Structure 1
Amino acid sequence: MDEFHTSQPIFVQIRQRLIEMILRGTVGEGDPLPSVRQISADLSVNPLTVTKAFEALVDIGVVEKRRGLGMFVTQGARGTLLSHEREKFLKEEWPRIAAQIRALELDLKSLVSNIDATPEGPAK
C-alpha cells in the first residue's frame, strides 16, 4: 500500500482503502477482510489505529465482526457504501468542487470531455 499523507488521520486513510477494496470488488460480500494484525504489520501502524478503521465500517453496517474468525464484509455492503460515499461526496466535497468550477469558468462540455483523460478513466 502507498504511504500515508498528513492531511487526514491514518485510521481514516485505512478505512478509505478498505472501502475502495469493497467498492472495486477486491473483497466481496461475505468475504473476510485482512486481519488487524496483518494490516498493522503491512502498514507499520498501531493495531488500535486499524481497529478504529474497522469500527468505523462496523458503525455504518458494511463490516461485521465474527467472534474468533475476524472481520467480514456484510451482504449488501457495496450498495450501502455507494450510497454512503455518494452522500458524503455531495455534502463534503462537491460544494468546494462546484465553487472551483464556477471560479474557473469551466463549462459542462469541457469537464465531461476531460473525464477520459483522468488516470482512472470514465466512470462505469
Structure 2
Amino acid sequence: MDDFHSGQPIFVQIRQRLIEMILASTVAEGEALPSVRQISADLSVNPLTVTKAFEALVDIGVVEKRRGLGMFVKEGARALLMAHEREKFLNEEWPRIAAQIAALELDVEKLLSKADEPESKGSENE
C-alpha cells in the first residue's frame, strides 16, 4: 500500500487517499478515521507526515480532532469534499485536458460516446 510516486509530496498523496475514503463512504460522516500511528505503520512513513495530511483536511473543514479520541469525519464532509474536488478538477486538470482535446482535434461528441461504450469492446480504430 505504500506505492507513492515522486511527483507529489507524500503527505499530499496520503491526504488524497483519505479524501477518497470519505468520498467513497469507506469512512462515513461522524466516524473515526484510522489513527496516525496506524496509517504511518501501514504505509511505513513518519507519523509527522500523516499528521500533516490530517491537518490539511482539518484546514478545509472536513475532519475534526477530538482530544483523546482521534480524527473524525465531520457531518457534511462528503458534500464539501465533492465541491472542493470538483472545483480543483475544473481549475487544475480540466484546462490541460481541454487543451489536449483541442490539440488532438478530437470530436467531443465521439469522445463522449466512447466514454459510454462498454470496456469489453477494447480499443477500436475509427
The answer, yes or no, to whether TM exceeds 0.5 is: yes
Count of residue correspondences: 119
Q: Which amino acid aligns with 2:11?
A: F
User: Would you say the 8 A contact 2:2–2:44 is kept in 1?
Assistant: no
How far residue 110 of structure 1 moved from its aligned partner, in angstroms, is 2.1
CA offsets 1:19-64 (integer angstroms, 9 cap, x no match): 0000011010001000000000000000000000000000000000
The answer to whether residue 43 in structure 2 is matched with residue 80 in structure 1 is no
Listed as ranges, the gaps of 5+ residues in structure 1 are 120-124
Q: Which amino acid aligns with 1:69?
A: L
Q: Which amino acid aligns with 2:103?
A: A
Q: Which amino acid aligns with 1:38?
A: Q
| 1:118 to 1:85, Cα distance in 2 relative to 1, 3 A | farther
User: Would you say the 8 A contact 2:23–2:82 is kept in 1?
Assistant: yes
Question: Quick one: distance in 1 between partners of 2:118 and 2:87?
Answer: 22
CA offsets 1:42-91 (integer angstroms, 9 cap, x no match): 00000000000000000000000000000000000000000111111111
Instruction: Give matches, 1:85-124, under 5 Å.
Output: 85-116=85-116
Q: Which has the higher Rg, Structure 1 or Structure 2? A: 2
Instruction: Give matches, 1:1-124, under 5 Å.
Output: 1-116=1-116
- SS across alignment from 1:114: helix
RMSD, aligned α-carbons: 1.5
Q: Which amino acid aligns with 1:53?
A: A
| 1:37 to 1:98, Cα distance in 2 relative to 1, 3 A | same
Give the TM-score taking structure 2 as reference length: 0.89
Question: Quick one: distance in 1 between partners of 2:108 and 2:95?
Answer: 16
Listed as ranges, the gaps of 5+ residues in structure 2 are 120-126
- SS across alignment from 2:45: coil
How far residue 114 of structure 1 moved from its aligned partner, in angstroms, is 2.7
